[in-house]
Amino acid sequence: MQFNSVLENVTTYEAGKPIELVVREFGVNPKDVIKLASNENPYGTSPKVVDKIQELAKNMFIYPDDSMFELKEALANKFDVTSSNVVIGSGSDQILEFCVHAKCNENSKILMAKTTFAMYEIYGKQTGSTIIKTESDTHNLEQFSKLYKEHGADIIFLCLPNNPLGECLDKDDVYEFLETIDSETLVVIDGAYQEYASFKDEKKRIVPKNLIETFPNCIYLGTFSKAYALGGMRVGYGIAQPDIIQTLYKLRAPFNITTLTLAAAIEALKDEEFVNDCIAKNFEEMQRYEEYAKAKGFEYIDSYTNFITLKFGDKYISKQVAQELLQKGVIVRDLTGYGVNAIRITIGTQEQNSKVFAQLDEVLEKLK
Amino acid sequence: MQFNSVLENVTTYEAGKPIELVVREFGVNPKDVIKLASNENPYGTSPKVVDKIQELAKNMFIYPDDSMFELKEALANKFDVTSSNVVIGSGSDQILEFCVHAKCNENSKILMAKTTFAMYEIYGKQTGSTIIKTESDTHNLEQFSKLYKEHGADIIFLCLPNNPLGECLDKDDVYEFLETIDSETLVVIDGAYQEYASFKDEKKRIVPKNLIETFPNCIYLGTFSKAYALGGMRVGYGIAQPDIIQTLYKLRAPFNITTLTLAAAIEALKDEEFVNDCIAKNFEEMQRYEEYAKAKGFEYIDSYTNFITLKFGDKYISKQVAQELLQKGVIVRDLTGYGVNAIRITIGTQEQNSKVFAQLDEVLEKLK
C-alpha cells in the first residue's frame, strides 16, 4: 500500500536497551543489570509518588481528566505563568512532535546542532522538512547564526544542556542569539536537563517566564523523566505564549496523559527536596567518572547533565566497548549512530558506578 | 506566529466531563457523582490489574520497554497473529492518528458515517484532507458504496459497533462491501466496542486474523478502555499486515506507552473472566434502559455497546436534559454537537442506573 512519500525517509528512534532485553538475550539476572543508557534518575521514584500511584490504582477504569486542570495549575505556579502558557505532553517528546507538525511541511527548514537529540530530525523528516545541521557536534552559536542567515529556518532547536553530549550554552549567549532571530521562527529551548545545568552553574539557567516574555517566538520544554524520576510515566511540558500553546493543542489527541501519570507529576512537583538531593549526588558521583576518564587518558565532555560522554579517540571502538559491557549486564549508550566514537554513561548511584568502573576495567583490558 | 494553514480548520475534541469538574463547578460531593458519559466499564478495574500496578509503582524512574515485547506477544497470542501484525497506541485513538497521518495529505479523501467517532474527522482535518460523510447518521453501506464510487477515498472508517450511536453492521455485509474496495484504500475497522457486539450477536463478530488475511488493506483497532476497564491507562492496538504496521511505527514517538500501562494491559488480558462477567451484566442492565425509554415514549437505537442513545424527538431538548442532570451530579453525553437531539448514557451498575432513572424522572418533570 502507498503511504505519504515523506515517510520513506523516516527512520525510527533507537531507545536505550531495556533491562528485560538484556535478561532475555544474555541470561543476566535482572538484579545484576545496571541500566545507565537512558539518563534515568538512579535514586528511584520519590516515595510520595509511589504512595499516590498505589492509592489511585483502583480507579484506572475512569478516563483521565482531559483538561489536566490540576497539573497545569501546578506547573503554572512553579513557573509563575498562567495555565494558558502550559501544554502537557507524553514526555516533552510529544511537544517536540506538536511543534514540528504545527509549524513544518515539505517546504520548511529546521536548524539544529550536528549531534543533538535524535527526535528533532525524526519529527522533521515526518513532515518532509529540510534538516540543516551545524558542522560542530556541540552547540556553536556562530555556526547557527551563519546557517540561519544563509538559509533561514522555520524551527531552531537548542538543547540546553545538550543530549547526548552534555555541553551547555550560557543563558546570556543564548539571549544574544535570540535577538537576531525573526519572530516567525519558532525557537524550541529543550530544557530536559535544565535542573542539572542550573544547579551546577547559575549562568546556564533559563527562566521560562523571562524567556517567553522576552522572546514570544520561543517555547521552553521541560520533562519529568530525568531529575523528577518519572521516565516510566511519560510526561513533559511546554511553556510558551498562549497563541503557540493553543495551536499545539490542536494536535494533541484527547487523553494523551494517563491518570496515574498526571497524579504522579503533581506529587513529584511537591517533593523538590528529593529532586535537589538527587541532583547534588549526581554531581558528586560525576567527579568519579571524570577522574576515571583522566586516569585512563580518555577525553570527556564537561557535562551539565546526569550523564557523561567518554570519547575513545583511536584507543577503542565505542561499539565494541558498549557491546562487551552489555554482555556483562551494564547498559550504556554507544554514540556511533550519532557519528561519534564515544559512549554515553548515565551517572548511577555510588554502588552502580563502582561496578561500572570494575566492569569497564575488564572490558578495556580485553579489548586492548 | 504563522502555523500550517490546515490547522485553521481543526477543532479539538470535547471529552466527557470529568468528575473533578462537576465537583468544582456544581459543588457536588465526589461520592455522589455518577459519570456515565465516556463509556467506561462501571465495574471498576480488575483486582489483578490493581495488584500489578501497586507492585510496580516503585519502578517509575525507569523508562518503559520501548519494544513493548511482552504486550505485543500477548496480543499476538490472543488474536492468533504474530507480533509483526501488532501496533500499540496510547488508546486506539493514537493508531487512528497514525493511520490518517501516514496515508493522508491535502489531496486526500476520507469517507465515514455522518455521526461517528469525532476523532476521525479531527485527525483528517489535521492533514487537510477532504471529509466525505454519508447522509445517514448510522452506518449505511449502500451510501458508503455510492460515495466511494463517486469520489474514491484514501481511508474509509467503519466503526463497528458505532460510537456514539450504538448500531452495528453484520460481518457478512461488511465483507461484501470490502470486496468492492480498492487495495490502495486503507479501511479502518474500529472495534473499540467489538467485545460487546460479538457477545450480544455472533453475526457482528469481526475476527482480526481473518479480516486482514482476506483484506490486506484493512486494519482492525481494539482498545483496553472499554470492556477491559483501563480508560485511565490509555492503551489500544491495531492488527494489520506487516507493511502497514511498519509504516505506522514510523509515526510512533518512542515510549508512547507508560510502564504501568503496559503491565496493566498484559494483566487485563489474563483476566477474561472479569471482562465477560462485566459484559453480561452490561446487557442485563441495558434492558432496564430500553424499558425506561419505552415507558417514556422515547426512541432509542438498538445498542451493541455499553451505552444507549435516547432520542428526544420534539419532546425535550437534549442539551437541557444533559445540563440539568449534570447539576445533579449525573454526567451523560449530549449529542447536540453531533447534530442529533439525543443523549448517550453509558450503562452503569445496577445501583447507578436506578439513581439515573430517578434523577431523569425529576429532570423530565421539570422540563415538561
Phi and psi at residue A223, in whole multiples of 5°?
Answer: -140, 155
pLDDT at B23 (0 to 100): 86
pLDDT at A13 (0 to 100): 81
Domains of chain B: 5-45+273-366 (3.90.1150.10), 47-271 (3.40.640.10)
pLDDT at A14 (0 to 100): 78
Q: How many whole angstroms separate alpha carbon B306 and alpha carbon A250? A: 29
Q: How many whole angstroms separate alpha carbon A294 and alpha carbon B163? A: 63
Q: Check CB contact under 8 Å for A230 and B61.
A: yes
Q: How far is B268 from chain A (nearest CA, A)?
A: 11
Q: How many whole angstroms separate alpha carbon B71 and alpha carbon B237? A: 10
Which set of grid coordinates corresponds to residue B26? 456544581
Q: Of A16, A21, A93, which has the smallest distance from its Cβ to B253's Cβ?
A: A93
Q: How many residues belong to chain A?
A: 368
Burial of B20: CB neighbours in 10 Å, binned 0-12, 13-18, 19+: middle
Q: Which residue's entry shows cell 566497548?
A: A321
Predicted-complex ipTM score: 0.95
CB atoms within 10 A of CB A39: 26
What are the angstrom distances between the C-alpha of A154 and each of A116, A212, B127? 18, 17, 19
Q: How many whole angstroms separate alpha carbon B303 and alpha carbon B266? A: 29
Model pLDDT for residues B192-241, shown as the tens digit of each residue:
999 999 999 999 999 999 999 999 999 999 999 999 999 999 999 999 99
Model pLDDT for residues A139-196, shown as the tens digit of each residue:
999 999 999 999 999 999 999 999 999 999 999 999 999 999 999 999 999 999 999 9
Q: A117 and B253 in contact (C-beta within 8 Å)?
A: no
Among chain B residues, CA nearest to A123: B251
pLDDT at A24 (0 to 100): 84
Q: How far is B293 from chain A (nearest CA, A)?
A: 26
Which set of grid coordinates corresponds to residue A79? 513557573
Q: Of B21, B183, B254, which has the smallest distance from its Cβ to A15's Cβ?
A: B254
- Whether residue B17 is predicted with pLDDT greater than 90 in this model: the reply is no
Model pLDDT for residues B142-168, shown as the tens digit of each residue:
999 999 999 999 999 999 999 999 999
Q: Check CB contact under 8 Å for B126 and A250.
A: yes
- Whether residue B12 is predicted with pLDDT greater than 90 in this model: the reply is no
pLDDT at A128 (0 to 100): 95
Residue ranges of chain A with pLDDT lower than 70? none
Q: Check CB contact under 8 Å for A119 and B254.
A: yes
Single-letter amino acid code for the residue at A263 = A
Apex B129 CA angle, B124 and B135, nearest 5: 80
Q: Check CB contact under 8 Å for A66 and B105.
A: no
Q: Of B15, B233, B256, which has the smallest distance from its Cβ to A66's Cβ?
A: B15
Q: Which of B355, B343, B357, B341 is nearest to B291 (CA)?
A: B357
Q: Of A104, A186, A264, which has the smallest distance from its Cβ to B1's Cβ?
A: A186
Question: Read out DSSP for B149-214?
Answer: HHH--SEEEEESS-TTT-----HHHHHHHHTTS-TTSEEEEE-TTHHHHHHH-GGG---HHHHHHH
Model pLDDT for residues B182-201, shown as the tens digit of each residue:
999 999 999 999 999 999 99
Which among B9, B41, B106, B234 is the top mutation candidate for probing chain A, defined by the most A β-carbons within 10 Å of its own β-carbon?
B234
What are the angstrom distances between the C-alpha of A140 and each of A24, A54, A130, A342, B346? 42, 46, 20, 20, 57
Reading phi first (left if > 0) and then psi (alpha if -120 to 50, else beta), residue B363 is in alpha
Q: How confident is the model at residue B19 (pLDDT cuts 50, 70, 90)?
A: confident
Q: Which of B264, B317, B356, B342 is nearest to B36 (CA)?
A: B356
Apex B307 CA angle, B302 and B310, nearest 5: 60
pLDDT at B241 (0 to 100): 98
CA dihedral for B348, B350, B355, B358, sign (positive or negative): positive
Where do the DSSP E strands lie in B25-96? 34-35, 86-89
pLDDT at A19 (0 to 100): 82
Q: Which of A223, A255, A217, A221 is nearest to A236 (CA)?
A: A223
pLDDT at A15 (0 to 100): 77
Q: Check CB contact under 8 Å for B63 and A16.
A: yes
B19 alpha-carbon distance from chain centroid: 20
| Side-chain-facing half-sphere of A305: CA atoms under 13 Å | 28
CA dihedral for A177, A239, A227, B88, sign (positive or negative): negative
Q: How many whole angstroms separate alpha carbon A305 and alpha carbon A302? A: 9
Q: How many whole angstroms separate alpha carbon B343 and alpha carbon B349? A: 18
* 3 state DSSP class of B118: helix
Q: A264 and A53 in contact (C-beta within 8 Å)?
A: yes
Phi and psi at residue A89, in whole multiples of 5°?
Answer: -130, 165
Radius of gyration of chain B, Cα coordinates, nearest whole angstrom: 21
* 3 state DSSP class of A133: strand
pLDDT at A12 (0 to 100): 83
pLDDT at A214 (0 to 100): 98
- Whether residue B368 is predicted with pLDDT greater than 90 in this model: the reply is no
Task: Provide CB contacts within 8 A for B7, sequence distance 6+.
Answer: A102, A247, A250, A251, B126
pLDDT at A218 (0 to 100): 98
pLDDT at A290 (0 to 100): 98
Q: How confident is the model at residue B110 (pLDDT cuts 50, 70, 90)?
A: very high
Phi and psi at residue B359, in whole multiples of 5°?
Answer: -70, -40
Q: Check CB contact under 8 Å for A42 and B61.
A: yes
Which among B181, B183, B250, B352 is the top mutation candidate for probing chain A, defined by the most A β-carbons within 10 Å of its own β-carbon?
B250
Q: How many whole angstroms separate alpha carbon B326 and alpha carbon B187? A: 37
Q: Of A1, A54, A264, which has the smallest distance from its Cβ to B244's Cβ?
A: A1
Q: How many whole angstroms separate alpha carbon A222 and alpha carbon A285? A: 24
